[in-house]
Amino acid sequence: MMAGDVGLFGPDSITWKLHREPILMLGGLRSLYLQALHPRTVAGVSQNSAYRSDMWGRLARTSDYVATVIYGSTAEAEQASARLRRLHARLSGVDPRTGETFRVDDPDLLRWVHVAEVESFLTTALRAGVHLTPDEIDAYYTEQLRAAALVGLDPATVPATAAEVADYYAALHPELGLTRDGAEAALFLTVPPIPESWGGRALRLGLTLGPPRWAYLGLASTAIGLLPPWARKLYGAPGWPTTDLAAGLSARGLRTLLAAILAVLPSEYRVSPARQAAMTRAGLA
């Protein structure tokens, strides 16, 4: 690892500013609900993934990949993305609507996943009270073109501003919808198996609606509420403005709660290991 290598973004980037926020975990969940509305994307996941038997492991691996891209050295980010590209290159799926076979690394699918993810991170942070100027919002999207290139996308084909993302969603809307795969994935995201360690003896006794379950259901409902109104309607949920208001208040409350929890933790637990390592390389820790 090259000393001083701050990776793809660095301490002066909007990306580092945004991703220091713990509330982005909620944005990750929102992005999964959004991604499930693309029929081919969710079919590819359903046909190639063991998410039903290893949901938490899959989420942990995805989180590790994002952390490596955001905070890893240039070599670490490139190595992680090369592994991901090799995996995707071996996978294909069958469109349940047309019977056509497609590649999981089809640029249209990779682009959808990328945009849904970065827009979800950004929107969730903003709705939770993180302040960014319009120029900073556009800068975040533009910075994330580097992450798009890592998965094999031509950056010139990826939305790079808030206006371009809005146009992209509008153009893609006719292709989106809730399929059986999407409904099953969304249901699994909403009511997943809760690890026993979250609930201890209560879960061993079968009390599956204990505090861990209710806490997670609260997160899931907030993530759904943060979806764009058109996406909630595709799920059969109301697109009312009051839903937007309630979800925004919930996200703000969760961000405040996370900040209060972090404030009383030892210093080594307040910053993720990936960010801490990046700050050390940058000479800031």
How many angstroms separate the CA atoms of 117 and 243, rounded?
21
pLDDT at 166: 98
Nearest residue to 129 (alpha-carbon basis) of 30, 226, 227, 15: 226
For residue 246, what pLDDT is reported? 93
What are the backbone angles phi and psi of residue 3, rounded to the nearest 5°? -60, 135
The dihedrals phi and psi of 216, each to the nearest 5 degrees, come to -70, -40
What confidence score (pLDDT) does residue 2 get? 44
Asked if 147 contacts 69 with a C-beta cutoff of 8 angstroms, the reply is yes
Q: What is the DSSP string of 200-211?
A: HHHHHTT-TTSH
Q: Are 93 and 40 in contact (CB under 8 A)?
A: yes
Work out the end-to-end distance of the chain between its first and last CA atoms, rounded to an integer number of angstroms. 17
Cα separation of 238 and 232, whole Å?
6
Residues paired with residue 92 on neighbouring β-strands, in sequence order: 103
- SS3 letters for 12-62? CCHHHHHHCCCCHHHHHHHHHHHHCCCHHHHHHHHHHCCCCCCHHHHHHHH
Cβ neighbours, 10 Å, residue 97: 11
State the DSSP H helix or E strand holding residue 243, giving kind and residue range, or none if neither.
Answer: helix 241-263
- pLDDT at residue 212, rounded to an integer: 63
Strands (E), 131-217: none
Q: What pLDDT score was predicted for residue 197?
A: 55
Rounded Cα distance between 61 and 49, Å, is: 13
Tokens matching residue 172: 């893609």
* Residue-by-residue pLDDT tens, the chain, 285 positions: 445 789 999 999 999 999 999 999 999 999 999 999 999 999 999 999 877 777 778 888 999 999 999 999 999 999 999 999 999 999 999 998 899 999 999 999 999 999 999 999 999 999 999 999 999 999 999 999 999 999 999 999 999 999 999 999 999 999 999 999 999 999 999 988 766 555 444 433 333 444 566 678 889 999 999 999 999 999 998 777 788 999 999 999 999 999 999 999 887 788 889 999 999 999 987
Q: Among 153, 112, 159, 168, which residue's Cα sits nearest to residue 140?
A: 159
Query: For residue 261, what are the contacts with CB-CB under 8 A and spacing of at least 6?
Result: none
The pLDDT score that the predictor gives to residue 216 is 82
